[in-house]
A and B are shown apart, each in its own frame.
Chain A
């Protein structure tokens, strides 16, 4: 059973951030290859997004997302309050143009982000005003 206070906090964050990424590490220092790849896709789209490092509270957050989204692995990308998917789905939707549509932006003309280097320091990522600590 997920912690109610944490569940409420996560629901708030999803509601407050049009584009929100739950990831392992941060956009500038991803701690997992799947999180890195998802960050690269998002950065190539040129949208601002909130990012939450799940590592300080991995198991509690896993329980929360299982309860609210029926999804227990990270990264998880939420767009307009809905879980869009993890790395596989985000990359697939990037390639077929559905991600740009969901984000309401133009499909970037750049090559696929799989070939990109680590994210640049001027990435459009923005941090939401929150942290989630381990309990």
Chain B
């Protein structure tokens, strides 16, 4: 099953109210997804915590094998 980029962005924004997320397929193969996210919840958190929050939002799609790798870029 191909990853639904809109769905992934929606999952991040739903998990982090007020967030703005964009998910792109860097290579067109569905293997290298990149999420660019800004969220008020990131304030005062370490970079690793910010990444954990984004990963947790889309964990279901990792667990069901839809996505394998997600590069996360936090926009401050």
Write the residues of chain A forming the contact surface with B, with a CB cutoff of 8 angstroms. 70-71, 83-85, 88-89, 92-93, 98
Closest to B71 in A: A88
Chain A: minimal CB distance from B36 (Å) = 12
**B residues near A, CB below 8 A?**
47-48, 51-52, 71-72
Chain A residues near B72 (CB-CB < 8 A): 88
Which chain A positions have C-beta within 8 A of B71?
A: 88
**B47 touching A83 by the CB < 8 A rule?**
no
Can you show 16 pairs from A to B with CB atoms below 8 A apart? A70-B52, A71-B48, A71-B52, A83-B48, A84-B48, A85-B47, A85-B48, A85-B51, A88-B71, A88-B72, A89-B47, A89-B48, A89-B51, A92-B47, A93-B47, A98-B47
Question: In angstroms, how far is the closest chain A Cβ from the Cβ of B6?
Answer: 23
Chain A residues with Cβ under 8 A from B52's Cβ? 70-71
Closest 10 CB pairs of A and B: A85-B48, A89-B47, A70-B52, A83-B48, A85-B47, A89-B48, A88-B71, A84-B48, A93-B47, A89-B51
Instruction: Determine the distance from Cα of A89 to Cα of B33 in the docked complex, in whole angstroms.
Output: 16
In angstroms, Cα B71 to Cα A98, docked, is 20
